[in-house]
Each structure stands twice: as structure tokens, then as C-alpha cells.
Amino acid sequence: MTGTDQSAARGRLARLARPAVILPVVLLLGAALFSVPFQTRRDQDRWAVELRERGRPAQAYVYDVRTERSRTTVYVRYALDSVTHEQEIACVQVCPAWRSTVPIRVSRTDPGDFVTDYGQLSGHRGRVQGVLGAVGFVLLAVPLVGLAVIGGGRLKDALTARLRGGSRPRPRAVGPVSMPRSKRKHARGRRPND
């Protein structure tokens, strides 16, 4: 690569590094990441409905309930085709009691995938997507708050100038100016001493 090629490449990189280019990219990336948990939730809701309609019915027995760091997990066993499966359920809104049974509908292609009768899918789903959504929120919020703070000051200045009747600031009123003594004598027509 010649020196001219290197300087041209640096010039292109400098143009790409401008805030006018970076800010929209950061905002688009933030919006995309922020939408991930919502899309995941919609997909999970659709999957739960499909499992309720087409899944195989079974009874899950709750053999353990554990709470760690404000997160409760319910452990269940259920039998399909004479095979016992174990799985966990995240306790979000409903927590089945220990030693109770829960009606479930199991996927026909994956015996570890099921939905409970109260709509909770097996396993802990959406954790990674939740983290991505939080990162997206930060990528959206920080630049927008920065723009609001910077732009708010400029907007205030523009509105103040417009309310005053123009874009130029009004001249300030100046009080009487006293002249030095030597100038006052000269102003009265007297000549200063030679």
C-alpha cells in the first residue's frame, strides 16, 4: 500500500468516525437489541399456544423447589413412552407446590420441551435476550439523553432569541458615562495647562 492509499484510507476512516455517522448506527443497533426480548416473548407465546394445541398430554410431578437469589426453580419428572424425563420450570407467576402434579403438554419432537397448563414453558428461556435488550436500552438512552442535554441548551437559546424578536441579542442599556477630569475641562472649551 502506497502512502497515497494509506492517507486516502485514513480520510475515509476519519469520515466514518464523525458523530453524524456514528450516532445513527449506535441508535439503530440499540433499537435492534432493545427489540430482541419483545420478539422473543412473542415467539415463546406462539410456541406455548402451539404446544397446547398439538403437544402430548402428560402429568409432571414436582420433586423439588429451589429459590436462589430471588429466583425460584421448580424441578419436575414426567413419563412419556415408558421413559422418565426430568426438567425444570422457571417460577414466574405461578409456583407449583412441592409434591404436587402439574398437567403439561409435551412437544412431539422434543420430550424436554413442554408447556404447563398455566402457560409456563419448560426451562429458563429468554435470559440472554433480556441481557441484549438491556444493552440495547443503554445504547438508545445514553445518546438520546446526551442529545437532549446538548440540544436542550441550544433550543433554549434559540427560543429566547426568538421571543426577544430576532436572532440577534438586544443591546444592553448603558448608564451615563463619566469622563475623566482632563477630558471634562477640554470639553468645556478650556485649554489644559501647557
Q: Indicate whether 132 pLDDT > 70.
A: yes
**The whole model's pTM is what?**
0.59
Residues 70-76: contacts with CB within 8 Å, 24+ apart? 73/124, 76/102, 76/104
CA–CA gap between residue 125 and residue 146 (Å, rounded): 34
At 156, the pLDDT band (50, 70, 90 cuts) reads low
The Cα–Cα gap between 36 and 129 comes to: 6
The mean pLDDT value for 71-79 works out to 92
The percentage of the chain sitting over the pLDDT mark of 90, rounded to a whole number, equals 32
Lowest mean pLDDT among 21-25, 79-83, 138-142, 147-151: 147-151
Q: Residue 191: pLDDT above 60?
A: no
pLDDT at 184: 56
Q: Quick one: how many helices (H) and strands (E) in the chain?
A: 4, 5
Highest mean pLDDT among 13-17, 128-132, 145-149: 128-132
DSSP per-residue codes, 161-176 = HHHTTSSSPPPPP---
pLDDT at 114 > cutoff 60: yes
Give the mean model confidence (pLDDT) for residues 10-29: 69
Q: What pLDDT does residue 178 have?
A: 64
Mean pLDDT of 89-99: 86
Burial class (CB in 10 A: 0-12, 13-18, 19+), 88: middle
How high is the pLDDT of residue 154? 62
Residue type, 113: D
Helices (H), the chain: 3-16, 19-54, 127-163, 181-187
The separation between the first and the last C-alpha atoms of the chain, rounded to the nearest angstrom, is 79
